[in-house]
């Protein structure tokens, strides 16, 4: 138990020093300010037919549990999901495999440390809401127990599930990369849909439906004309100040608490499953050495070994040429981007090209579903700008060619795969003389690899772009929110994304120039 404590402590301290953690912490403070608007701010985040609860501890405590699903579920997963893979990348895996640390202890340590990181972010958010309660000055009595109950009965169960999923997705084969990120996002949408659509669902993981139902019941005790289906979360402009009522909080029943214990048990099962799947950083060669005691490589004959007095051959000096052709750099970038891509991916790209050519209706607005083909180059885009750091080849690459030329080679390679996957759609728009949608689509597929390259350069990781791209695709092309529809499937603004692309390119080049200084 002592060793487990130090494992958790080390992992927790390492995460708290991560600047991504600080970024989410600052975002939680900002979100806490926005989600407690004053009566004169002109908007509400909880729609109840122009009515809301007084900002007391019961109301804000329940609100903290509901809003933390937005704050912690997706960002927390993408922040913490690669802890085991990171140990493998940093070559810590062989040391762990050679140590007496068991699989279950290692997985439990990772899950518990991830849980405490998430809980720390939740506490920061709750403290921010406490401060906002005093700032809004509607109820000056802070009842700590109301906040604690919401954390215990609502937040902790799904944070445990989330912590378990971060380690499970990191050990299941095929779930460590882009496919796992997309699958988790689909799972999140499904869970949120069930949580908000089904009221009084005791087995709801997030408890959003139950909280909304309790708030509506409290409002109906004062305003009987309110509909039972009126409660919803979001951004709602208000022409006038809302009416308020005193809400006494959630009536915690034994049955509901029992269902939360079920979710805690489910989290424990997920951790156990992850420990059974985890290979403890042992590949096939390590298993053969442990089983047979040999490496499997033939022994080197004694006469081939170096002997004293052998002269070292002289090597020709390396000549560095500054005239490196951009074409060969782009060709090399494309080959490295394609390395490791499975055979089925190539067949799927070919099918997507044919689908974009024949499946789009003529003379009509394209369906949002056609944008699904842009998930195919996501594994290629996400490695742009951060592959060298991930593979520890930054110094080697930076000394082989000018940084600006490498930047443009990466950008052109990403753009090439964008055009390749979208070639069917582009040909279809051209044959149909649909120039408006063609311009929108071209601008979108130029913007995305540019964003991927710059985010990869700035963050040094592929997770930031992958998470942002998945959310952007869902909000923009799928939900047809015009401001985020970079493909222009409904009402596009190509000039907006042309400007953003230019700004991102300048930012990326400026970042490279600052890194290498006069050596560029």
Q: What is the mean pLDDT of each run of 10 residues along the chain (520 residues)?
A: 73 78 84 86 81 90 87 87 82 76 86 92 92 90 92 93 94 85 89 75 81 87 80 78 87 88 94 90 58 57 57 61 73 88 88 85 74 90 86 76 84 94 91 88 93 90 87 83 81 83 90 59
Strand partners for 44: 236
Strand partners for 243: 51
Long-range contacts of 297-304 (CB under 8 A, 24+ apart): none
Q: Which among 284, 306, 338 is the end of a domain?
A: 284
| Residues 4 and 60 grouped into a single domain | yes
Let me know if residue 294 belongs to a domain: no
Let me know if residue 321 belongs to a domain: no
| Residues 20 and 142 grouped into a single domain | yes
| Residues 253 and 348 grouped into a single domain | no
pLDDT reported for residue 312: 59
Give CA–CA dist 174/179, Å, rounded: 7
Instruction: Flag whether the pTM goes above 0.85.
Output: no
pLDDT reported for residue 385: 87
Let me know if residue 260 belongs to a domain: yes
pLDDT reported for residue 30: 86
Distances in Å between the Cα of 422 and the Cα atoms of 271, 340, 350, 489, 502 are: 40, 22, 10, 14, 21
Give CA–CA dist 48/50, Å, rounded: 6
Q: For residue 396, count CB atoms less than 10 angstroms from its CB and return exposed for 0-12, middle for 13-18, buried for 19 or more.
A: exposed
Let me know if residue 197 belongs to a domain: yes
| Residues 441 and 331 grouped into a single domain | yes
| Residues 266 and 380 grouped into a single domain | no
Q: For residue 493, count CB atoms less than 10 angstroms from its CB and return exposed for 0-12, middle for 13-18, buried for 19 or more.
A: middle
Range of the domain at 276: 1-284
| Residues 274 and 356 grouped into a single domain | no
Helical H segments across 402-493, by residue range: 403-421, 423-431, 435-459, 463-473
Beta-strand (E) ranges in 127-239? 232-237
Which helix or strand (DSSP H or E) is residue 245 part of?
strand 243-245
Q: Are 472 and 484 in contact (CB under 8 A)?
A: yes
Let me know if residue 303 belongs to a domain: no
| Residues 246 and 348 grouped into a single domain | no
| Residues 251 and 346 grouped into a single domain | no
Q: For residue 60, count CB atoms less than 10 angstroms from its CB and return exposed for 0-12, middle for 13-18, buried for 19 or more.
A: buried
| Residues 367 and 256 grouped into a single domain | no
Give CA–CA dist 264/244, Å, rounded: 35
pLDDT reported for residue 309: 57
Which helix or strand (DSSP H or E) is residue 44 part of?
strand 43-47
Let me know if residue 221 belongs to a domain: yes
Rg, Å, the chain Cα set = 27
| Residues 228 and 362 grouped into a single domain | no
Number of domains in the chain: 2
Let me know if residue 296 belongs to a domain: no
Which helix or strand (DSSP H or E) is residue 45 part of?
strand 43-47
| Residues 191 and 265 grouped into a single domain | yes
Q: Which among 252, 284, 316 is the end of a domain?
A: 284
Let me know if residue 316 belongs to a domain: no
Q: Which among 232, 254, 284 is the end of a domain?
A: 284
| Residues 75 and 11 grouped into a single domain | yes
């Amino acid at each position: 138990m002592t060793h487990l404590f130090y494992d958790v402590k080390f992992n927790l301290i390492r995460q708290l020093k991560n600047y991504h953690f600080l970024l989410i912490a600052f975002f939680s403070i900002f979100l806490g300010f926005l989600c407690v608007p004053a009566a004169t701010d002109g908007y509400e985040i909880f729609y109840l037919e122009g009515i809301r609860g007084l900002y007391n501890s019961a109301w804000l405590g329940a609100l903290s549990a509901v809003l933390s699903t937005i704050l912690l579920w997706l960002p927390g997963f993408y922040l913490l999901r690669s802890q085991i893979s990171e140990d493998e990348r940093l070559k810590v895996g062989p040391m762990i495999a050679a140590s007496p640390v068991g699989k279950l202890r290692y997985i439990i340590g990772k899950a518990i440390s991830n849980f405490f990181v998430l809980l720390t972010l939740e506490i920061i958010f709750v403290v921010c809401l406490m401060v906002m309660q005093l700032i809004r000055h509607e109820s000056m009595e802070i009842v700590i127990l109301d906040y604690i109950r919401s954390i215990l009965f609502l937040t902790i169960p799904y944070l445990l599930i989330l912590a378990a999923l971060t380690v499970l997705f990191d050990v299941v084969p095929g779930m460590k990369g882009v496919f796992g990120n997309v699958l988790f996002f689909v799972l999140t949408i499904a869970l949120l849909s069930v949580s908000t659509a089904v009221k009084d669902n005791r087995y709801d993981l997030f408890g959003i439906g139950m909280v909304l139902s309790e708030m509506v019941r409290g409002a109906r005790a004062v305003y009987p004309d309110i509909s039972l289906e009126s409660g919803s979360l979001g951004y709602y402009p208000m022409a006038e100040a809302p009416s308020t009522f005193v809400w006494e909080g959630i009536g915690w029943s034994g049955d509901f608490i029992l269902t939360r214990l079920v979710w805690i048990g489910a989290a424990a099962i997920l951790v156990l499953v992850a420990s059974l799947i985890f290979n403890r950083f042992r590949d096939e060669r390590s298993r053969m050495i442990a089983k047979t005691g040999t490496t499997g490589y033939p022994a080197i004959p004694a006469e081939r070994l170096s002997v004293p007095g052998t002269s070292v051959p002289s090597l020709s000096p390396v000549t560095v040429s500054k005239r490196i052709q951009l074409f060969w750099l782009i060709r090399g970038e494309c080959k490295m981007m394609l390395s490791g891509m499975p055979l089925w991916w190539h067949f799927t790209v070919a099918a997507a090209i044919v689908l974009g050519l024949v499946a789009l209706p003529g003379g009509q607005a394209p369906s949002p579903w056609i944008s699904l083909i842009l998930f195919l180059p996501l594994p290629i885009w996400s490695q742009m700008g951060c592959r060298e750091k991930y593979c520890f080849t930054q110094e080697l690459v930076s000394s082989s060619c000018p940084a600006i030329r490498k930047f443009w080679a990466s950008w052109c390679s990403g753009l090439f795969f964008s055009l390749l996957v979208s070639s069917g759609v582009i040909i279809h728009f051209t044959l149909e003389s649909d120039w408006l949608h063609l311009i929108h689509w071209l601008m979108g597929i130029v913007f995305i690899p540019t964003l991927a390259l710059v985010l990869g350069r700035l963050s040094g990781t592929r997770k930031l772009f992958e998470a942002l791209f998945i959310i952007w695709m869902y909000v923009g092309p799928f939900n047809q929110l015009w401001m985020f529809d970079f493909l222009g499937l409904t009402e596009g603004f190509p000039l907006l994304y042309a400007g953003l692309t230019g700004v991102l390119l300048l930012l990326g080049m400026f970042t490279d120039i600052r890194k290498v200084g006069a050596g560029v």
